[in-house]
Amino acid sequence: MTGRSPAPGPGAGLPVLITGCSSGIGRACALRLHRAGHAVYATARRPETLDELAALGIHTLALDVTDEESMATAVAKVEAAHGAVGALVNSAGYAMSGCIEEASMAEVREQFETNVYGLVRLSQLVLPAMRAHGGGTIVNISSIFGRYAVPGSGFYNATKHAVEALSDSLRNEVADFGVRVVLVEPGPVRTTRFGATYVANLRPVSRTYETFRRESAEYFEAIYTGSRRTLAGTFAIQSDDVARRVAKVVAKGARGSRPRARYPVGLLAHSTIALRRLAPDALFDHLFVRRLFPVPRGPRPRKQGDHR
């Protein structure tokens, strides 16, 4: 079944609910989809961060993806105005940094609550009305790190791998109801807030990874802010590059056509995903991960039987 997204409300475009609009990709999506004529509902934990969007005529709502009542209330408001959410853009998220050995399990749970469980619950909340209205689109903002993982980002990478798997499963569960589920997979995105959060999380825990933490902080700050040249930073994209792809996906949904399952965004995303698909693990680690990213350096492992 190929269904159209729910009909727009009076004088408005397709009703689009977007999470994580206080900055970065979510904010860029809100602006671009608003310019395209959609009825955009931009959300954030702190609605005061959305004042500039509200001044442009964008609907703004408080929505905390870790709070059940907050999510249910936001979805209910959109459905009250339009009957159903036409497109859900799951953009809220952050990157927990640090080595797996040193991680606080409370912080690991918080990372999954925000990046995975909130996305799942919002999808559950919008689906009944989408199905009743004959269709809709769910766009999940993933990452190239949903295809491979790098040192110091294991838990963030794990959440994006989870988003990829859940999207693949959900896509086939709801396809016959006219609901499209699409992954957007950006490469590194120039942003001050996301990068600042990542670097701030690299606080010292033990001396084992002290040098690695310092190198990682400098490296990722350079990528996200462009403060110095790095290979990955050279190919970093802008938030609006991602928003442009999201807008095209939403437009396809509004026309009732079926978009692809996933869209990498940026040259680095396309090239590294292709390399990951073709290269064996050891070769990928050697040619890409250990050359492009900082890795913890320890003493060379002794050969078996060497007791010197």
CA nearest to 198, candidates 92, 96, 93, 91: 96
What phi-psi label fits residue 152: left (phi over 0), alpha (psi between -120 and 50 degrees) or beta?
left
Could you confirm whether 156 is annotated as catalytic? Answer: yes
Q: How is residue 174 written in tokens?
A: 């709801």
CA torsion angle 122 125 129 135 (round to 10): 30
Contact status, residue 93 vs residue 20, Cβ threshold 8 Å: yes
Contact status, residue 17 vs residue 187, Cβ threshold 8 Å: no
* Residue ranges in 83-153 assigned as alpha helix (H): 105-112, 118-132
Q: What's the distance, Cα to Cα, between the start and end of the chain in Å?
A: 69
- CA separation for the pair 296, 284 (Å, rounded): 17
Pick the catalytic residue from 41, 156, 198, 224: 156
Active-site residue set: 156
